[in-house]
Amino acid sequence: MIFDGPFGSGKKAAAAYAAAALLCRAKNGRPCGICPSCAQAAAGSHPDIFLFNPEGGNILIDQVRELRRQSFIAPNQSPFKVFIINRADRMNPPAQNALLKVLEEPTSSVFILLTENAGALLQTVRSRCRIYAMEPLAPDVIAEWLSSHPTPGQKAPTADAIREAAGRADGSIGRARQLLENGLSRPARLAEEFVSSLRGSALQIMEACLAASALPRNEYGDFYTECTALLAVDALAYPADAGYYIAVYEYIQQQRDKLLENNGSVFALSSQLAAFCGTIYRRT
Ligand SMILES: [Zn+2]
């Protein structure tokens, strides 16, 4: 299976749910939540559920070989194993071809590939999978879910707080919940400053980028995520400038790859972002 959708659309949560449901001993098509298998799945310690994350930004052929090796070993306690490959779109062609061989082999394992861009997978890989598109949720769906699923042990949030968090969550229940519990994070505040500076002068853009460059590297990725969410909203809100917002959005996606690959300091990336926005701003 391929779960395809943008960052924050709940792919990992859906894969965890699917894996638990597949291996649940009650076999009701959903995790019963009480059998030993469900308890292990919820604790992230199920011996037959395997999660592969990119190493250094990419899924490497060695990781696919390890996955293949594991798929030949009998499951520990279940009828079959479940392999979840996070950011499967970050597999280079040799790794994808290795995966293709695994998918073609007659094992009883289940493979769930999580992608932000299923188009980056080889057609031969895609054709062997069932693709599920994960859509970002509408704010009122998120708000309804938050109202009916209060966090245990926490004071119930007001309707206003729920509406606000749902509106800012970019389609993700997880992010909405985080906003409700922790308020706006520092990367989110700086992203707001940056995106609103795009309607100001080149100097304001530079100041906003400089402020963001003080973030530690691990929070700078969150800054990018918040920026792209806000840019998508503004591209719709200001159709005349949509081209500008989309160009900045795409530039930030490229920078996010550089950040993941450890190419460039946060300060350098921030300065380049300021220069890029300032230059195209004057052109438009
Ligand atoms: Zn169960």
Residue range 218-247, pLDDT digits in tens: 889 889 988 998 898 888 888 888 899 999
How many angstroms is it from 110 CA to the middle of ligand 1? 18
How many angstroms is it from 155 CA to the middle of ligand 1? 30
Asked whether residue 16 falls in the same domain as residue 121, the answer is: yes
pLDDT at 31 over 60: yes
Residue range 137-155, pLDDT digits in tens: 889 999 998 888 777 777 7
pLDDT at 182: 80
Q: pLDDT band for position 282 (50/70/90)? A: low
Asked whether residue 58 falls in the same domain as residue 152, the answer is: no
Please say which residue of 154, 182, 210 terminates a domain. 182
CATH code: domain of residue 118:
3.40.50.300
Asked whether residue 246 falls in the same domain as residue 225, the answer is: yes
Asked whether residue 148 falls in the same domain as residue 206, the answer is: no
How many angstroms is it from 50 CA to the middle of ligand 1? 18
State the average pLDDT over residues 5-22: 87
Average pLDDT value for the chain: 89
Asked whether residue 64 falls in the same domain as residue 126, the answer is: yes
Q: pLDDT band for position 281 (50/70/90)? A: low
Residue 243: strand, helix, or coil: helix
Domain residues for the domain of 273 are: 186-283
How many angstroms is it from 14 CA to the middle of ligand 1? 16
Please say which residue of 182, 211, 245 terminates a domain. 182
Residue range 160-216, pLDDT digits in tens: 889 988 888 878 887 888 888 888 789 989 999 999 999 888 889 999 999 999 999
How many angstroms is it from 238 CA to the middle of ligand 1? 48
How many angstroms is it from 31 CA to the middle of ligand 1? 5
How many angstroms is it from 145 CA to the middle of ligand 1? 23
Does 110 or 261 have the greater pLDDT score?
A: 110
pLDDT at 26: 93
How many angstroms is it from 239 CA to the middle of ligand 1? 49
Rounded CA Rg of the chain? 21
Distance of CA 214 to the CA centre of its chain: 24
CA nearest to 80, candidates 1, 24, 2, 14? 24
Please name every residue paired with 82 in a beta bridge, in sequence order, or none if there are none: 49, 110
Asked whether residue 224 falls in the same domain as residue 266, the answer is: yes
The C-alpha atoms of residue 242 and residue 151 are separated, in whole angstroms, by 38
How many angstroms is it from 33 CA to the middle of ligand 1? 5
Asked whether residue 207 falls in the same domain as residue 114, the answer is: no
How many angstroms is it from 45 CA to the middle of ligand 1? 14
How many angstroms is it from 71 CA to the middle of ligand 1? 23
pLDDT at 177: 84
Q: Are 95 and 52 in contact (CB under 8 A)?
A: no
pLDDT at 254 over 60: yes
pLDDT at 53 over 90: no
Number of domains in the chain: 3
The number of beta carbons lying within 10 Å of the beta carbon of residue 19 is 24
Asked whether residue 279 falls in the same domain as residue 221, the answer is: yes
Greatest mean pLDDT among 7-11, 106-110, 192-196 lies in 192-196
Asked whether residue 34 falls in the same domain as residue 58, the answer is: yes
Q: Three-class SS string for 181-241?
A: HHCCCHHHHHHHHHHHHCCCCHHHHHHHHHHHCCCCHHHHHHHHHHHHHHHHHHHHHCHHH
Distance of CA 250 to the CA centre of its chain: 16
Q: pLDDT band for position 283 (50/70/90)? A: very low
pLDDT at 6: 78
User: What does the chain come to in residues?
Assistant: 284
How many angstroms is it from 143 CA to the middle of ligand 1? 28
How many angstroms is it from 83 CA to the middle of ligand 1? 18
Asked whether residue 108 falls in the same domain as residue 95, the answer is: yes
Q: Give the H or E element holding residue 247.
A: helix 242-260
Asked whether residue 73 falls in the same domain as residue 16, the answer is: yes
pTM above 0.75, yes or no: no
How many angstroms is it from 10 CA to the middle of ligand 1? 21
How many angstroms is it from 46 CA to the middle of ligand 1? 12
CA nearest to 86, candidates 150, 14, 190, 179? 14
Is residue 88 packed enough to be buried (19+ CB in 10 Å), middle (13-18) or exposed (0-12)?
A: buried
How many angstroms is it from 24 CA to the middle of ligand 1? 4
How many angstroms is it from 96 CA to the middle of ligand 1? 33
pLDDT at 284: 46
Does 183 or 159 have the greater pLDDT score?
A: 159
The C-alpha atoms of residue 140 and residue 246 are separated, in whole angstroms, by 26
The C-alpha atoms of residue 88 and residue 267 are separated, in whole angstroms, by 29
Asked whether residue 90 falls in the same domain as residue 155, the answer is: no
How many angstroms is it from 148 CA to the middle of ligand 1? 23
How many angstroms is it from 246 CA to the middle of ligand 1? 44
